[in-house]
Amino acid sequence: METKTFADLGLSPKVQAAITAAGYVSPTPIQAAAIPVAVTGRDVLGIAQTGTGKTASFVLPMITRLETGRARARMPRSLILAPTRELAAQVAQSFEKYGVNHKLQVALLIGGVSMDDQVKKLDRGVDVLIATPGRLLDHFGRGRVMLMGVEILVIDEADRMLDMGFIPDIEKICKLLPPRRQTLFFSATMPPEITRLVNQFLNNPERIEVAKPATTAKTITQNFVYCPNGEDWAKREVLRDLIRGNNVKNAIIFCNRKRDVAVLHKSLTKHGFNAGALHGDMDQASRMETLDKFRAGEIMLLAASDVAARGLDIPEVSHVFNFDLPWAADDYVHRIGRTGRAGHEGHAISLVSPDDLKLCKDIEKVTAEAPVWLGDAPSEEDFASAGKRRRGRGGRGQSSGSDKSRRQSQGSQRGGRTGEHHARSSQHAARPAEQGPQQPEQRQHRQPQHKTAQPDQHHAEAAEHPHQERRRTPRPERAPQPEYAEQPKRSSENARRPQRPRPAPAVDAWTDEPAPAQRTARHDRPERREAPKEAPRKQQPHKADERLGFAENVPAFMRKPSRPLKVPGRG
C-alpha cells in the first residue's frame, strides 16, 4: 500500500499531532504498509532491513489502540520484547516521543537496574510493558507480573533473538499469554527457526515485505580494505589512517570480541582520538551514559561489540568501520545499518585480513554485491589459501603441528629452554642410581613424572621423604586390652594436671613413647569406654521391687508407694 502522509494510515488525531510535532512528514515503506493493518487488530509479519523505521510501525498503531481502556495492577495491557537493553530503552523513548499527548503508563524491565522501581510501576498498573525476555521471566517467577491481560504482543528483532538464544524464552512467554491477542512480529531475516515460530504463534498474519531479506540500504557506500599483515596492531594503524583520511563526522567501530573492544578503545584514546567503548561486560549505567554522549556528539568514535549492531537508532552516523568482519554474514547487514538511516548518506568500510577472505565471500553471497576494494585487492591465490590458517584469541595465526615440531628442534639445537628441559630430565633419571638401597622404591614414585617432569629435583625428593620415613619407623606394639582398660581415659591430660594424681599406667612401654600411645589410645577409645560404663548399669534390683515384676523399667516417680493400702472401714 502506497501512501504519502500519515493522515491516510488510520491513526488517531492525537498520534498525528505528535508525529507532526516530531517533524515527520511522510512514512517509510514499512510504515505505510504495516500501520493500516496493525490498527485494525490483525497479526503482522514485517520483514525489512534495519534502519527503515520498524519501531514506529508498531509504536504508532499501539498508541492508537491503547487510547481506550484502563490498566490494572500487575496486569500490563501490551507487551514488547526486545533482545537487548539498549533496544528496549530506545523503544521506551519512542513511546515518550509519540505518546506525548497521551497518559500511557510505560514500564521498562531490563537487567542491570534496580528491580524495586520496576515493581512499583507494575503495582500501579502499566499500559505498555517493554522488557527483555530474561528480566520478564524473572519478575513473572517472583509473582510480580501477570500476563493474562496482554492484548498486544510485539516481538522486535526476532532474528537477533534467535542469535542470542532467546527462542526458548520467547516460546515460554507466548504460552503464558492469552490466545486471543494481536501479535506484531518484525525481523530483518527469516531463518527456518523464525519461520517455525511464526507458524506456531501468529494467527493468519499479514506478511509485509518491503525489501528482500538481508539486503543493505541503497544510501550506504560499502568499501573493503585488504590488510595483508592480518595482525591487530597493523589493522589499528590502517584504521587510524582511514579515520584521518576520510571526512568522518562520527563513527561506530565494530569488533567481534569484547576484549578487542577494550584494546581498540585504549589504542584510539592513546593516539588522541575522542573515543568511547560499548560492550556487554559494562554495567547498564555506563552503557547508557556512553550512548547518550555519542548521540549528543560528545564522543566521536564508538568502539562497540555486536550489542550495538541491532536496532539502535543513532541519527546521522556518518561512518561504520568493521575492524573485524562478523562471523555471520547477516550481522554485516545489521552493523552497517547503523549508518545511512532515514535517507541519509552513509559509508561502511571493512578491514579484511587474509583469514577473513572466506567471510568476505559469504557477505558477497548475502548482499548479492561484489566488494569494492580501496587500494590493492587480494589476489586469487589469497582467496584460495583463505581459511587454512585460523586466528587465535591473540590475533595470531595458529601454526600446524609440523611448524611446532620444527621450532622445538631448533630450540634444542640452540640450547634453549627446550634443550634445558631435556637435559634436566636426563639428570633426574640418572640421579636415583647413586642412592643405594632406596632405588626401587623411588623409581616407583618417579614413574608418573615422565609425563610432566618436575622443574626441581629437590622438591621431588622432599615430596617423597615423608612416605619413606613413615615406612622406616616401626609401629609400636599395642598392649593387651584388659591391661589398658585399667588406665585413665586421657593420659595427655594427666600430664598437664599434676594436682590431680592418677594411678600409674599398667604398661611402662606407653610412657616411654607418648606420641604413639596417644594415637593408639584415641584409635581404641570407643572400645575402652564400654568396659567401665557397663558396670554401674547392672545393678541388683531392690527387694521392694521384686514383686513388681514387669514394672522394673518404670521410672521411680511413676511407681506406687510400697506402704500398705488403706482399707475402708478400718482405723
**Cβ distance 109 to 115 under 8 Å?**
no
Most confident of 120-134, 155-169, 489-503: 120-134
Instruction: Considering only residues 120 and 425, tell me which one the structure prediction assigns the higher pLDDT.
Output: 120
Q: Which three cell numbers stand for residue 565?
A: 493400702
pLDDT in tens, 206-215: 999 886 555 6
SS3 222: strand
Separation of alpha carbons 339 and 332, rounded Å = 12
Tell me how far CA of residue 96 lies from CA of 12, 104, 177, in angstroms.
16, 9, 25
Separation of alpha carbons 431 and 36, rounded Å = 89
Asked if residue 62 has pLDDT above 80, the reply is: yes
pLDDT in tens, 135-150: 999 999 999 999 999 9
Strand order in the sheet with 301-304: 275-278, 301-304, 251-254, 319-322, 346-352, 220-226, 373-374
* Sequence-ordered strand ranges (E) for 25-178: 44-47, 78-81, 106-109, 128-131, 152-155
CA dihedral 296, 302, 306, 311 (to 10 degrees): 20
Separation of alpha carbons 554 and 571, rounded Å = 32
The mean pLDDT value of the chain amounts to 76
Separation of alpha carbons 307 and 81, rounded Å = 16
Which range has the worst mean pLDDT, 207-211, 476-480, 541-545?
A: 541-545
Reported confidence tier of residue 113, pLDDT bands at 50, 70, 90: confident
Average pLDDT over residues 370-374: 90
SS3 109: strand
Of 87, 79, 4, 3, which is closest to residue 37 (Cα–Cα)? Answer: 3
Say if pTM beats, i.e. exceeds, 0.85. no
Asked if residue 501 has pLDDT above 70, the reply is: no
Q: Domains in the chain and their CATH numbers? A: 6-209 (3.40.50.300), 220-384 (3.40.50.300)
The DSSP output letter for 210 is S
For residue 104, how far is the Cα from the chain centroid?
34
Asked if residue 436 has pLDDT above 50, the reply is: no
Backbone φ and ψ for 303, nearest 5 degrees, come out as -80, 125
SS3 347: strand
Asked if residue 399 has pLDDT above 60, the reply is: no
CA 199, 200, 204: angle at the middle one, nearest 5? 50
Q: Which three cell numbers stand for residue 497?
A: 594436671
Reported confidence tier of residue 390, pLDDT bands at 50, 70, 90: very low
Alpha helices in 99-178 (DSSP H): 115-124, 133-141, 158-163, 167-176
Reported confidence tier of residue 163, pLDDT bands at 50, 70, 90: confident
SS3 181: coil
* pLDDT value at residue 341: 76
Question: What is 516-535 written as a DSSP string?
Answer: HHHHHHHHHHHHHHHHHHHH
